[in-house]
Chains A and B, each alone.
Chain A
Amino acid sequence: MLQQDASAAHPNQPIPGGGAPVVKGRSLWADAWRRLFRNRAAVASMVILGLIVLVCVAGPWFVPYEVDEIFWDAFTAPPSEAHWFGTDANGRDLFIRVLYGGRISLMVGLVATLVSLVIGVTYGATAGYFGGRIDDVMMRVVDMLYSLPFMFFVILLMVFFGRNIVLIFVAIGAVEWLDMARIVRGQTLSLKRKEFIEAAHAGGVSAFNIIRRHIIPNTLGPVVVYMTLTVPKVILLESFLSFLGLGVQEPMTSWGVLISDGATNLEVASWMLIFPAVFLALTLFCLNFIGDGIRDALDPRDR
């Protein structure tokens, strides 16, 4: 990929000057925070997302129903006082299921993104820091992995080895780390020529510690941006797998599972699609706005 060097030379990175990056960085971050909070869309998104997360995490404690509780006299019942979001085709309360589904979807998004973050950042920083032959080989591997039809491998994994939620995390995380590795490597390449790294190097700090203490913290900006954009991607990916019938196992559920259920009941029971779809779409909207907001905040040129 040829364009990579162009983006690595991005002029507006958090570039701390001397040997004390923390102090210098803080003002930059503070600056970014200030810009972020002036972005109304991003702030509204953060509030809404916060509410959604709160409701999904804490809500189930206040709902008097179980996620797998069947109401024998309310199969496919429309929203009512007893069941705010109606019930599904098995007579289970949809409100509690949307909340539980949200827990799973948000968790998949978060955990898979963290998996990709850990692999990608470590890999990219290592490749970029050592450079030369090591970098060549490591980036060749990334290039090779890029050409794998990954989605197909994920589907194969799900079909062959069953619907295991851990497997979903790992599989999706394994797909998403490649971009992260490239971004971090590009950052590292430009960072390592900076004086403070060379100073650390001359001061006898080990390679591991330089990467850990100096390189990685300084790549955080673009990584955070990329992360906020990866979470919605992963949530969508999980819902895509659910649509193909490869999602989480009953009686647990996810927004993807609920939506694909709802899509088939569109005309008979529209609430089965509407509620989970609204939650999913809102979450994705918010995450995208927040991602855009953070990017703009870190990148002072007004877009």
Chain B
Amino acid sequence: MIQIRPLFARATLAAALVVGTVSAAEAETIFHRGNGSEPETLDPGLSTGVPEHHIQMDVFEGLVAPGPDSEPIPGVAESWEIGDDGLTYVFHLRENAKWSDGSPVTAEDFVYAWRRLVNPETAADYAYFLWPVRNGKAISEGNAEPEELGVEARDEKTFVVTLEAPAPYFIDMLTHHSTYPVPKAVVEEFGNEWTRPGNIVSNGAFRITEWVPQSHIKAVRNEHFHAADEVKLDAVVYYPTEDREAELRRFRAGELDYTYDVPAQQIPWIQQNMPDQFRNTPYLGTYFYAFNVTAEPFKDNPALRKALALAIDRDILTEKVTQGGEIPAYGWVPPGMEGYQQQQLEWASWTQEQRNEEAKKLFAEAGYGPDNPLTVEILYNTDDNHRKIAIAVAGMWKQVLGDVNATLRNEEWKVYLETRDQLQFQVVRAGWIGDYRDPYTFLSYLRSDIGEQNPSGYKNADYDRLNDESTVETDAEKRMAIMAEAERILLADLPIMPIYFYSQQHMVADHVKGWEPNIMDYHPSRFITVER
């Protein structure tokens, strides 16, 4: 154990430094931000989680950036043109786009970052984000060289992308962290330590100066950022706040200005005691239960699936159990998709009594009753909310249908995912959050042919075909109609049972200004001010 001594010294030094800076910094405008879990990595090419994305949105900037309301605004690219075939994108980068060390951000930086993302050696989870780009998929499968990726630096400030097929949602995708540029020289010099304070060079509104894992990350204003004079904060500190109760306590004690989340059971208390600081906005996601349609009892049994879907009272679930202003869901694609006609189950407008009647009828038709009770197990991952919903759903089935013996099984996240992937369940709790603001991010989730996701084992050739058609249709209106048709097929088959559309809760302190609610839940710190 030879390495022990120097490392120990470094750790204590880091702790000492932290003590010094925190107390010296009181005079500055600092935004203390609860940020969910500890980031896995700050490398935009390698990270996968939402907490990382929030930091990277502040610290890096892609071709397109999310505005205060999450609508894409020009980022490093000040303008772009799309070819008539929908395949060629030409991005013109701003002259004053700079890295935090003062060097310019060039088209070459994007070429490097994108090739790196799809390079199998990088082993990036999000490599598939660039599969719409020419040769993207082939490269990450090892069938082509990274140099063959359809990207090109036409000159220092012109970046050209060629797609495999038209992808109308491509610009929206560019706010995603996997497409951000990375500083080639720094990455090559420091390897996987390039994101550490002291090493990291970035091109966003803030730059990282401290990182103590499981404690905090501090980023200060980047003077080289092209809009640095519009950034009002001197620094942002991100805290890992996995324990929502603890996060709320820290907010109440004034240690946090903003929370990542709010514990559901505290919402009534908060609404009574600190309603002004409570924010609750719809979020682009659907919470649902998936039936395993590859096995008994749900295989080829749409009547049973429908009976169970009918028998749960979504109003009670959202009002009494989750209590967070969630919207009861009777469709798959959440509201808030521009130009998309939201689809609904035909019984969405019925009363719960009508639904219960129909549910009983279908349940009996499916052959269940006192002589043949239904035994069903609900799988969920360990979490207070999921647990409460599962308890309530099991209770509702038992109450409405009578002869249901519902048991619960909770598994810890990673085990749950494996069980789910192997279809070793009957009913599973799941949720899906859109990657970008287009129905396709939801519809493609339940395709049978892309070998990923799709928790229920659902397979319908028509559904897959309509999905394919939607990716090549360039007429926006027709495309939306195709996707609506796909959703109707899905809702008729009912391999999944929608429960509610997410809403996202935050505590935002009174002195925080410039925070705008939006469906993507993007809140870049560059638009936020703290007026104490």
Binding site for B on A (CB under 8 A): 68-70, 72, 75-76, 89-92, 159-160, 162-163, 245, 249-251, 264-265, 267-268
Beta-carbon contact of A268 and B265 below 8 Å: yes
B379 CB, nearest partner CB in chain A, Å = 11
Q: Are A250 and B269 in contact (CB under 8 A)?
A: no
Which one of A90, A245, A265, A267 lies within 8 Å of B391 (CB-CB)? A90
B388 close to chain A: CB less than 8 A? yes
A72 and B265 within 8 A (CB): no
Partner of A160, one of B387, B399, B415: B415
A31 to B266, CA, bound (A): 56
Task: Evaluate whether A90 and B263 lie within 8 angstroms (CB atoms) in the complex, with A70-B395, A75-B320, A267-B269 already known.
Answer: no
For residue B245, CB closer than 8 A to chain A, the reply is: yes
Main secondary structure of the interface of A (DSSP, over half): loop
Contact B408 A249 (CB under 8 A): yes
CB distance from A268 to the nearest CB of B (A): 5
A251 touches B320 (CB 8 A): no
Please report the C-alpha to C-alpha distance between residue A270 and residue B245 in the assembled complex, in whole angstroms.
Answer: 15
CB closest residue in chain B, given A69: B395
A69, A92, A160, A250: which contacts B390 (Cβ < 8 A)? A250
Q: Are A264 and B263 in contact (CB under 8 A)?
A: yes
Considering the chains assembled together, what is the distance between the CA atoms of A245 and B243 in angstroms? 12
Question: Does B375 have its Cβ within 8 Å of any Cβ on chain A?
Answer: no
Q: Inside 8 A of B477's CB, which chain A residues have their CB? A: none
A58 shortest CB reach to chain B, Å: 26
Query: In whole angstroms, how far apart are the Cα atoms of A160 and B413 in the complex?
Result: 10
For B245, what are the chain A residues with a Cβ–Cβ distance below 8 Å? 264
User: Are B408 and A250 closer than 8 Å at their CB atoms?
Assistant: yes
A-facing mask of B409-437, CB < 8 A → 1, else 0? 11110010000000000000000000000
Residues of B within 8 A of A162 (CB): 411-412, 415
Q: Complex formed: what's the CA distance from A160 to B411 in Å?
A: 9
Total contacting residues, chain B, CB less than 8 A:
25
Q: Within 8 Å CB of B266, what residues of A?
A: 267-268
Looking at the assembled complex, report how far the CB atom of B244 sits from the nearest CB atom of chain A, in whole angstroms: 9
Q: Which chain B residues lie closer than 8 Å to A75 at the CB level?
A: 320-321
A91 touches B320 (CB 8 A): yes
Say whether A250 contacts B387, CB under 8 Å: yes
Per the bound structure, the CA–CA distance linking A159 and B411 in Å amounts to 8
A245 to B384, CA, bound (A): 9
Q: In the bound complex, how far is the Cα of B316 from the Cα of A160, in angstroms?
A: 34
Residues in chain B near residue A249, CB distance under 8 A: 408-410
Report yes or no: B408 in contact with A159, Cβ–Cβ below 8 A.
Answer: no
Kindly state the separation between the CA atoms of A70 and B399 in the bound complex, as whole angstroms. Answer: 9
Alpha-carbon gap, A147 to B316, bound state (A): 52
A residues near B395, Cβ cutoff 8 Å: 68-70, 90
**CB-CB < 8 A to A250: which residues of B?**
387, 390-391, 408, 410
List the 7 closest pairs (A to B, CB-CB), nearest first: A70-B395, A250-B408, A268-B269, A90-B391, A75-B320, A264-B245, A245-B382
* A267 to chain B: closest residue by CB: B269
Is the C-beta of B268 less than 8 angstroms from some C-beta in chain A?
yes
A159 in contact with B265 given A68-B395, A89-B388 (CB within 8 Å): no
B392 is an interface residue with CB less than 8 A from chain A: yes
Whole-angstrom distance between the Cβ of B181 and the nearest chain A Cβ: 38
In the bound complex, do residue B410 and residue A163 qualify as a contact, i.e. CB atoms below 8 Å apart?
Answer: yes
